[in-house]
Chains A and B, each alone.
Chain A
Amino acid sequence: MLKERDYDFSRLVEPDRVRKEVYTDAEIFEREMERIHETVWIYVGHDSQVPKAGDYTTVQIGRQPMIMVRGSDGKVNVLYNRCPHRGNMICGDTKGNTGDFFRCSYHAWTFHHDGKLKGIPMKEAYAGTRYGKDNPDCSIKKAARVQNYRGFVFTSLAKDGPTLKEFLGKSIVAFDDMCDRAPEGEVEVVPNCFRIIQHSNWKLFLENQLDALHPSVVHQSTGRAAHEVEKILAKKAKGGATPLSYHMLSAFATVTIDKWDDFQTINYPYGHCILTGYMGLRPQDPDTLAYDRIMIKAYGKKRFEEIVGVNIHHVLVYPGLSVQSPLQQLRAVRPLGVDRTLTEIWHFRLKGAPEAIYRRSLAYYNLVNSPATLINADDLENFWKCHQGLASDGGDWVSLGRHHGRDIERNGAIESGPKMGTSEAPMRNQMKAWSSYMKD
């Protein structure tokens, strides 16, 4: 059916609707991998995942198996996980330490941490041939471009294109907001990755992230349940505070569907978006006040107010990253196939912040982002149902028309209109970026 349309990508996306094949067609998926995930800046990992020389972690970028490795010179390299000899993968594990060099498990070719050929067993066998250290094809191929912003390592597998900073634009606030909240201005990864696979197209995950209409529908059950227990705990505490973790969950019910229009989405070039904050994460309890004092000492009163005044709940860095900077959570989206998507979920410690502040981030990580999540369980169910429905012949289009025509363009960004936080502006913006990548 799509073949007959002859891949007319200008016709797959209209300003307020999208053809269903965009989500379900395997050939479109291959083109997405080539044009988007293997071209634009994609998050690889945080450099604190590989603190020592030889530390590595493996990751899939688009369809490419890659290695992020710390060199003896302290530099973080991103390499294709492929031996230039016969094509064997170099690292078979998801993480580890390779020692002073890589050694292929098949024929023992060795490589430096930057991928350069180090040695070949009985190398005289190659005398007079084109193979040897002088031939760059005998080294492990490096990612075309690698950039590190405040510890967050990105790669682009294309030689040309915007710089990381140009690409991120205003969405760079995700990393600034996270790091600035640390008294030492840096974050450190907590070395645990929760990995969850959903059986649906990768774009459904991203579109859900800033969909302000869904939380009170989808997460009602957990919101209500947490609110019930929160009320009992409040009674027991006799006016004292209940743990913030209950508030994180109960907000899904106490913030009713109509209130979500009070929030706002701000949508940027390349498909990035921000959802303004709603969780009221500036309580006045002793832990927060102790943290505030440390922050004021580190930054001064004026800068401190600027830092904690950043009003963000979620930042979406299209096409592969969802960041909740005030809670130091990050979800990297790795498409595995047209109907299969992996999310890798990490959280971070604010360097120099008290343990109690870390515990908030941890509570959110465990309750919302673990494989026993009380929240995402119902999102994942919807993603699957959505993909099943889209694969049917029950209709050709996906509607993105909520508040269409009422978005406000300002300073190069598209904002949802006043009292229109549930606008489908973020999805329209993502599809706009998508179609500009996919068109010739």
Chain B
Amino acid sequence: MKFNLVVQHEVEQFLYRQANLLDRKQWQGWIDLFAADGIYWMPPDASYQTWDGQPAIFAEDKNLMTVRKLRVLHPDAWSQRPLWETTHVVSNVSIKHISKSGDVEVSSRFHMLELRRDNVRHFAGSYFHKMKKNKKGYAIQLQRVDMANAQAAYDYVLQVWV
């Protein structure tokens, strides 16, 4: 399939939806964006080439995503009290590859602001998405998240996916 503005638009809308589901805490809706064997991966260093068999800030298949979802929804998840807010901005969307069947590899940048109690934290970096074309749009096979501050000391932790 050739690159065209319609594909660019569809991909951008998909990435915005992904970020919007996170900001609206629609955890199951977000997990549903992934293919059955999809992986969410945040490496601790940009030089890492694979999520498998190495240290990872996140390296989650849909089963582990479900653990995280059930955990944050549990009434005794203490660090979820008070709840927090995030807001993502996704930009610089660049399609790197399109296959004949319409599968895409896409790079983009994100900026996320998080508010918890009275404290604001900023996280920013790049996304890499490997996505399979399907009837509904796309299914994420790999979402790689490279944080600009991946190697920095974390003030507390990341509660959910970025």
Name A's B-contacting residues (CB within 8 A).
Answer: 190, 192, 194-199, 218, 220-222, 224-226, 228-229, 232-233, 246, 249, 342, 347, 355, 358-359, 362, 365-367, 370-374, 376-378, 380-382
The answer to whether B57 touches A229, judged by C-beta atoms less than 8 angstroms apart, is: no
B156 contacts A380, C-beta separation under 8 Å: yes
Instruction: Give the interface centre of B75, B155, B159 by most chain A CB atoms within 10 Å.
Output: B155
Shortest A378–chain B CB gap in Å is 5
- Beyond the given A194-B154, A226-B67, could you list 10 further A-B residue pairs with CB under 8 A, ordered by the A residue number? A199-B156, A224-B71, A225-B68, A225-B74, A355-B53, A366-B56, A366-B59, A370-B57, A378-B78, A381-B79
Whether the pair A221, B74 counts as a contact (CB closer than 8 A) is yes
Partner of B153, one of A195, A358, A370, A378: A195
| CB contact between A373 and one of B67, B77, B78, B157 (< 8 Å): that residue | B157
Chain A residues within an 8 Å CB radius of B63: 229, 232-233
**Is the pair A378, B42 in contact by a Cβ cutoff of 8 Å?**
no
Instruction: Tell me whether A380 and B157 are in contact (CB under 8 A).
Output: yes
CB of B79 within 8 A of CB of A362, answer: no
Q: Which residues of B contact A377 (CB under 8 A)?
A: 79, 156-157, 159
Question: Looking at the complex, which one of A199, A218, A226, A370 makes contact with B58 (CB distance below 8 Å)?
Answer: A370
Which residue in chain B gives the minimum CB-CB distance to A192?
B55
- Decide: A370 near B55, CB < 8 A? Known: A196-B157, A377-B159: yes
**A374–B157 alpha-carbon span in the complex (Å):** 9
User: Are B68 and A382 closer than 8 Å at their CB atoms?
Assistant: no
Distance A378 CA – B45 CA, assembled complex (angstroms): 25
Nearest-Cβ distance from residue B33 to partner chain A, whole angstroms: 19
Within 8 A of A (CB), among B27-60: 42, 44-45, 53-59
Cross-chain contact B57 with A371 (CB below 8 angstroms): yes
Report whether A371 and B154 are in contact in the complex, using a CB–CB cutoff of 8 Å.
Answer: yes
- For residue B66, CB closer than 8 A to chain A, the reply is yes
A53 CB to closest chain B CB (Å) equals 23
Known: A371-B154, A381-B79, A382-B78. A229 touches B70 (CB 8 A): yes
The chain A residue sitting closest to B74, CB to CB, is A221
Contacts of B42 in A (CB 8 A): 372
For B75, B78, B152, B154, the residue with the greatest tally of chain A CB atoms inside 10 Å of its CB is: B78
Q: Is the CB of B154 within 8 A of A196?
A: yes
What CA separation (Å) do A366 and B155 show in the bound complex? 17
| Count of chain A to chain B residue pairs whose CB atoms are closer than 8 Å in the complex | 108
Q: Are B68 and A374 in touch, CB under 8 angstroms? A: yes
Q: How far is the CA of A224 from the CA of B69 in the complex (A)?
A: 12
- Which chain B residues lie closer than 8 Å to A370 at the CB level? 44, 55-58
**Contact, CB under 8 Å: B158 / A372:** yes
Q: Which of A195, A342, A372, A380 has the most CB of B within 10 A?
A: A372
Residue of B55, B56, B72 with highest tally of chain A CB at under 10 A: B55
Name 8 interchain pairs, CB-CB below 8 A, sorted by A. A192-B55, A194-B57, A221-B76, A229-B70, A232-B63, A246-B67, A362-B53, A371-B158
Measured in the bound complex, the distance between the Cα atoms of B78 and A26 in whole Å is 28
Is A198 in contact with B67, judged by CB distance below 8 angstroms? no
Return B16 CB to nearest CB of chain A, in Å. Answer: 23
Do B55 and A362 touch (CB < 8 A)? yes
Q: Given A229-B70, A370-B56, are A221 and B77 neighbors across the interface (CB < 8 Å)?
A: yes
Query: Chain B nearest CB: distance from A2 CB in Å?
Result: 29
B158 touches A365 (CB 8 A): no
Contact: A229 with B153, CB < 8 Å? no
Q: Nearest Cβ distance between residue B154 and chain A, in whole angstroms?
A: 4
Contacts of A192 in B (CB 8 A): 44-45, 54-55
List B107-144 residues whose CB lies under 8 Å from chain A. Answer: none
Shortest C-beta distance, A70 to chain B (Å), equals 22
Residue in contact with A220 in the complex, picked from B74, B152, B159, CB distance below 8 Å: B74
- Report chain B residues within 8 Å CB of A221: 71-72, 74-78
Shortest distance between the CB of B90 and any CB in chain A (Å)? 20
Q: How far is the CB of A355 from chain B (nearest CB, A)?
A: 7
Binary CB contact string for chain B from 64 to 103 against chain A (1 if under 8 A, 0 otherwise): 1011111110111111000000000000000000000000
